[in-house]
A and B are shown apart, each in its own frame.
Chain A
Amino acid sequence: MIARGERRRSLDSAPGFRHSAAVTDPSATRPLSFQAMILRLHQYWSERGCVILQPYDMEMGAGTFHPATTLRALGPDTWNAAFVQPCRRPTDGRYGENPNRLQHYYQYQVILKPSPPDLQELYLGSLAAIGVDMGVHDIRFVEDDWESPTLGAWGLGWEVWCDGMEVTQFTYFQQMGGYDMKPVAGELTYGLERLAMYIQDVDNVYDLRFNDAGVSYGDVFLENERQMSAWNFEVANTDALFDAFRKAAAECENSLAAGLPIPAYEQAIKASHTFNLLQARGVISVAERQAYIGRVRDLAKGACGAWMEKNGWAA
């Protein structure tokens, strides 16, 4: 992956945790299901003035790629949004055989611009809302600065630990697309499967209760992981992927030339994901890797620059 969290592993250690007595669903005296947890987060952030968006309909490596984060983070306008974003990290696929690793999973993304003064308290409130009892669990903010070479972006913040497990990335964006943030946006990225495994006290992601009507996470996604892992690693036509990368790059530039930063940015997302697939197929050498990352960065930065220009925002 070349997305947010380049230095990180996804779901690399997402064990379940014994839930506290407080972790309950009002309708049943048991911990929130996967979907109930999402609904609870939606409700929490909706009540705090966020626009609740639906996932972006493109493949991407992290919620940060969503234009509601990347493009909306730029410029002076107030912007508060929350959404679930499916993330695809082809190299993390394990054919459904690893209890902690997936090539497709969900991030819950909150973006608040300007960053509110009580962002940490708001975040802790959201944990309480989904049933984390801070009287018996150890919540810690551990330094983890974020940088995305492909988005020309960086920020300072933490990974939030719950009993030693990383459950959220908490970042104050400082630059996006090479532009200083004016004002700074705060970004929260929850690892939903990890949080759910923790709340439901489950050791295997596929054992998560997806809903309260007997459907498990495995029922929904296990076969998907098997087939997609095989395709990512073994089947995907690499010539077609190289071609797709070139075409996305060309289309990005075509859109930029026409003064259309949003479609240009979509093509940058497409190029980034195509690159990730090529990585999974093992056909990009170490030497070429940097060149590809540089190409994606140029596309993303070009789109961000055009977006700034279109809105008449000074760098």
Chain B
Amino acid sequence: MGGVNHMTDFLLELRSEEIPARMQARAREDLARLFAAELARAGLTASETVTYATPRRLALIARGLPEATAAVSEEIKGPRASAPPQALEGFLRKTGLTREQLTERDGVLYAISEKPGRATAEVLAEAVAAVIRGFPWPKSMRWGAESRSTESLRWVRPLHGIIALFGEQVVPVSVAGVESGAATRGHRFHHPGAITIGSAADYVEKLRACHVIVDQDERAALIRERAAALAAEAGLVLVEDEGLVAENAGLTEWPVPLLGRFDPAFLDVPPEVIQLTARVNQKYFVCRDADGRLANAFVCTANIAASDGGAKIVDGNRKVLAARLSDARFFYETDLKVPLEQQAAKLEKIVFHEKLGTVTDKVERVARLARWLVEEGVILSARGEDLASLADMAGRAARLAKADLVTGMVGEFPELQGLMGGYYAAAQGEPAAVAEAVRDHYKPVGQGDDVPTAPVTVAVSLADKLDSITQFFAADLRPSGSKDPFALRRSALGVIALILDNGLRFPLSQVASRDVLDFFADRLKVQQREAGVRHDLIDAVFALGGENDLVRLLARVRALQSFVGTEDGANLLAGYKRAANILKKEGVGDAVPAPLHAPLSYTPEKDEAALIAALDSAEPAAADAVAREDFEGAMAALATLRAPIDAFFDHVTVNDPDPAKRAARLALLARVRAAVHTVADFAKIEG
């Protein structure tokens, strides 16, 4: 070390066959994390770490490492000094030390060993091998002759090269037959030969000279900007898609966006279909024209600067897209020829679930439930349609909603379910509300998705989800732990969102059994937790039983949450808990002891009389307020009890030697408990 504080940079490149694009970002994070952890074990920290990923390489530059690690003293905790001799013997055996070499501190023995500093290159050699062997690829594989043993190295794809340069020195590493060195390869086609890297300092630029842009962010920026510029040059606007930018950056070392055109006749196909085909199957961007309509243009990203300027590549990609679009158009046109009722008839042959019959069975249930929701007035018309016609439309939409599952287009692109049904329904002249319901009845499909508001759509969407939940529960196929194969939790969240966003008022118990209601309660807690609502308050309201109108339930919970946050609320809660504890100890159950309002056989004490009077006025006030759904009012009425309860506990002895007084006072506490329960079961409230 010689006192000179010389800092050096380290370069690591792990070169392999093509790494899946979707794994590259995570791989960079893992590389940085594992490498830092290995260094930390030796007491080293880099001043800066940069990572890079391309399809064929994962790289790391760690800056500012010393030439050697500092000497460290390592301490191993042993038994207590007072421990039996066997424990001490075991520890001595483990550490290879004698009793005299141990150090005692606070009655505990420690083995302290002084470790001299090590050459950083040596630490790096071990670190690189450990990082490679322990790398957490989401999927990894074995390969080649080494794989005769299942213990052979696993990597995401075959690993071919390791650059490990500390300063300008190769750090010798050998993993599974791959020896480290200073050589790598450039672009697969532009520069397939070997390149020698001097140090971390010239890595990025030497690769750039060999047609590899090693920095993924630079590739992404290039794709983003060039694709937008190509669209602009063609008088169009690129439909931005950051997922596609990242994916194309992960598929290329030398990205070259190219704009191509497809036959405008394909624009008859719904734009969603074109966009999906282009994006999912081909990883192309699409463009819009000045009016915002989808244009007959695509932008693909090649991985080569072709000698003909990319003409053949564009032409080839155009043909691939044309073949895909003609397939899509074939499906679309074929589907349009068949009325949705006729498609729906085929659902009879599709088993929804072996225990739950066919899709037709499901559709019939959903249609009945959707009608019922309208006829019962749960879902009201927004546009002044009469209930009967609204119910007819809900039933009709429900019967057509699943018909697109047997169309060619949805068979090809399952993610277009609903959307295609909406197109087909509109094309065959269904009312707009019906077509819209067919299109959107799967919504909301997750947090943040649009929640339908059109009455017919709400009816079908709600009925579809309620049917799935209640049917699977009835068949004893409920979610458990991490298993939710029928996505019932998501369906329940959808139901909750539909009810709350649309202010739908109906008792869920009319359509759901006890265990389904509990399931909704759990989902509601999950959903409301994110909105900052306390789960114990939801429990407190659910515990009353009978409250299964979600809109009212949440109004209650919200009023409760603001109430328990006040001083009155906190004190009332304390008084309630004290009363409830006494009642519990005395074995006075929730059934109110009769006669509650019996005249007293003795003259009550002042604070006893005051509590009776307070209850006499608070009870009806709270009950009235609850009946009016004025939960703030109910809380206010209960708040009047707080001072009398406190005074009662301060000055009146419940456990009076006179059995009549004792019984009457327990009955009074039971009245308090019952009054509070008109709003919520405070026993469930934490704190």
Which A residues are within 8 Å of any B CB, using their own CB?
A: 12-18, 20, 76, 98-100, 114-117, 119-120, 134-143, 145, 155-158, 162-165, 172, 174, 180-184, 186, 198, 203, 285-287
Contacts and interface: CB of A to CB of B under 8 A. Distances in A.
A114 B142 CA distance: 11
Contacts of B429: none
B306 A136 contact: yes
A287 B353 CA distance: 7
Contacts of A163: 312-313, 315-317, 320
A183 B147 contact: yes
A281 B40 CA distance: 64
Interface stretch (B16-24, B98-106, B362-370, B482-490): B16-24
Interface in B301-321: 302-304, 306-308, 312-313, 315-317, 319-321
A76 to B, nearest CB: 6
Contacts of A99: 323
Nearest to A20: B312
A56 B251 CA distance: 37
Contacts of A174: 141-142
B18 A184 contact: no
Contacts of A76: 148
Interface string B645-680: 000000000000000000000000000000000000
24 contacts: A13-B320, A15-B323, A17-B315, A17-B316, A18-B315, A100-B327, A114-B148, A115-B147, A136-B312, A138-B302, A139-B189, A140-B252, A145-B139, A156-B156, A163-B317, A163-B320, A164-B320, A172-B141, A172-B143, A181-B147, A182-B150, A183-B145, A183-B148, A198-B316
Contacts of A119: 158
B373 interface: no
Nearest to B256: A138
B316 A137 contact: yes
B349 A285 contact: yes
Contacts of B55: 141
Q: Rank and list the top 10 A-B pairs by shortest CB-CB distance, nearest first.
A: A163-B316, A15-B319, A143-B20, A13-B323, A141-B18, A164-B317, A287-B351, A183-B147, A184-B147, A138-B302
A115 B142 CA distance: 10
B86 interface: no
Contacts of A115: 143-144, 147, 158
Interface in B100-147: 139-147
A173 to B, nearest CB: 9
Contacts of B32: none
Contact of B144 (A120, A165, A184): A184
A126 B96 CA distance: 62
A136 B304 CA distance: 8
B320 A165 contact: yes
Interface in B503-559: none
A13 B327 CA distance: 8
A213 B359 CA distance: 55
Contacts of B315: 17-18, 163
Given A114-B148, A135-B189, A14 B323 contact: yes
Contacts of B142: 172, 174, 181, 183-184
B300 interface: yes
B211 to A, nearest CB: 13
A14 B156 CA distance: 29
Interface of B: 17-18, 20-22, 55, 139-150, 156-158, 160, 188-189, 251-252, 281-282, 284, 300, 302-304, 306-308, 312-313, 315-317, 319-324, 327, 330, 349-351, 354
A18 B22 contact: no
Contacts of B300: 164
Contacts of B308: 136
Nearest to B354: A287
Given A156-B140, A182-B150, 19 more contacts: A12-B323, A15-B322, A18-B316, A114-B147, A114-B148, A134-B304, A135-B306, A135-B307, A136-B313, A137-B313, A138-B316, A142-B18, A145-B139, A163-B312, A164-B300, A164-B316, A164-B320, A172-B142, A174-B142
B398 to A, nearest CB: 21
A136 B316 CA distance: 11
Given A134-B189, A182-B149, A285 B313 contact: no
Which of B22, B188, B322 counts the most A-chain CB atoms under 10 A from its CB?
B188
Given A158-B18, A287-B351, A138 B160 contact: no
Given A13-B323, A164-B282, A137 B18 contact: no
Contact of B306 (A18, A120, A138): A138
Contacts of B160: 117
Contacts of A12: 323-324, 327
A16 B149 CA distance: 43
B319 A203 contact: yes
A72 to B, nearest CB: 16
User: A143, A165, A182 — which one has the most chain B CB atoms within 10 A of its CB?
Assistant: A143
Contact of B143 (A20, A165, A180, A184): A184
A18 B20 CA distance: 29
Contacts of A14: 323
Contacts of B158: 115, 117, 119, 172
A142 B251 contact: yes
Given A134-B189, A163-B312, A285-B349, A143 B148 contact: no
Given A135-B307, A165-B316, A180 B150 contact: yes
A16 B321 CA distance: 12
Given A13-B324, A141-B17, A287-B351, A184 B317 contact: no
A15 B320 contact: yes
A294 to B, nearest CB: 14
Nearest to B18: A141
Contacts of B22: 143
Contacts of B143: 114-115, 172, 184, 186
Nearest to A97: B330
A172 B349 CA distance: 39
B300 to A, nearest CB: 6
Contacts of A20: 312
Contacts of A183: 142, 144-148
Given A14-B323, A184-B147, A140 B303 contact: yes
